[in-house]
Amino acid sequence: MTSPVSVFIIDDSAVVRQVLTQLLDADPGVRVAGVAPDPIFALQKMQSDWPDVIVLDVEMPRMDGITFLRKLMQERPTPVVICSTLTEQGADITLQAMSAGAVDIITKPRLGLKDFLHDGTPRLLQVIKAAAKARLSPVRNRSLTSPADKKPIPSERLNQTTDQVVALGTSTGGTHALEQVLTNLPAACPGIVVVQHMPAKFTAAFANRLNHLCQCEVREAVDGDRVIPGLVLIAPGGKHMQLRRSGAQYRVAISNGPPVNRHRPSVDVLFRSVASLAGRNALGVIMTGMGDDGAKGLLAMRQAGAHTIAQDRESCVVFGMPREAIELGAAAEVLPLTAMASAIMGAQSRRRNAG
């Protein structure tokens, strides 16, 4: 019989600690190993019973969650799920924690906390159980650069037809995976559209962080944005993103719509639109994440003539979405994360040579 996943909760709110403990202990597949109001108390308690997963708040007394997380990932890497209040300021801080190595985000409101936690129990349990299986690797801190130091996108790129669209989908573990891929692309990379499963308000801060790290321009997509070389558009949290064609130009359409595969934005929604409109001019990439969102859409892209790539098991934090795509026959190639950037640029070169 499989042992239950042991979880340690670190949150300065006694209400959060109490409610989370009750909810998690009600599932036979999870065991709450302990709770603490801050990381210093937590480190003392965890020594005798180190957990499989840590549920961590960000803003706490004595030691904040980011400082603790960086220390943890250096000394004893352990899967961490961030449980943070959903605010604009909190989004930026929480994304710093994700960059430091956290596996996923669970958002909590300032009001109606008990109802929210009860309603979100299935998602919470899913994230914790997936985190327990996460493959962790050392996290390297990257220096931020000023967007003002970047060369502006040449005006001629705005006038040309985009000869290739790269559609990229990811979920759990995706923030770090995207950072690794995008920071290794040159400023002259092909136009890229991204769906990362992420709550509303977090994607703008995430895109801004990546924009400070990357040679290419990265921003949260706005309805009608052009897809052009040197630009990465990230779907806004809580909204779907699809590819549209306006004459010779590719643009994105942002919409509400119902969740697809329990997600909004959905990778499948993006991939299917790319398959329909870009066909063989597209490259599809599916990376680390829970569930099966994107697998059928990637298959549609491959059937439409696009080249398709799935991340391999060894380099995934959670080998869910890529596994589903591979088993469905949607992936023409299976590559490690370290090979994704060169594969994207290689596909662009092959397309130019073929043309």
Residue environment code for 135-154, b if the CB has 16+ CB neighbours within 10 A, otherwise e: ebeebeeeeeeeeeebeebe
Q: Between the CA atoms of 58, 60, 63 and 65, what dihedral angle is there, to the nearest 10 degrees?
A: -10
293 is catalytic: yes
225 is catalytic: no
CB 255 within 8 A of CB 240: yes
Rg over CA atoms, the chain: 20
Q: Which of 6, 84, 99, 171 is catalytic?
A: 171
Q: Which residues contact 57 (CB under 8 A, 6 or more apart)?
A: 10, 11, 12, 13, 16, 65, 82, 83, 84
Q: Which residue has the tokens 């998690």?
A: 24
Comparing CA positions, the residue from 312, 309, 295 lying closest to residue 343 is 309
For residue 192 the two structure tokens come to 């890229």
Distance, in Å, from the CA atom of 212 to the CA atom of 132, rounded to the nearest integer, reads 31
Distance, in Å, from the CA atom of 283 to the CA atom of 167, rounded to the nearest integer, reads 6
Q: What are the residues facing 194 on neighbouring strands?
A: 168, 234
Q: Which residue has the tokens 């499963």?
A: 197
DSSP tag of 90? H
For residue 304 the two structure tokens come to 């439409």
307 is catalytic: no
Comparing CA positions, the residue from 266, 254, 270 lying closest to residue 291 is 266
Q: Which residues contact 270 (CB under 8 A, 6 or more apart)?
A: 167, 169, 193, 195, 235, 240, 241, 242, 243, 297
Q: Which of 197, 240, 263, 307 is catalytic?
A: 197
Q: Which of 293, 307, 312, 315 is catalytic?
A: 293
Distance, in Å, from the CA atom of 62 to the CA atom of 151, rounded to the nearest integer, reads 42
Residues with catalytic roles: 171, 197, 293
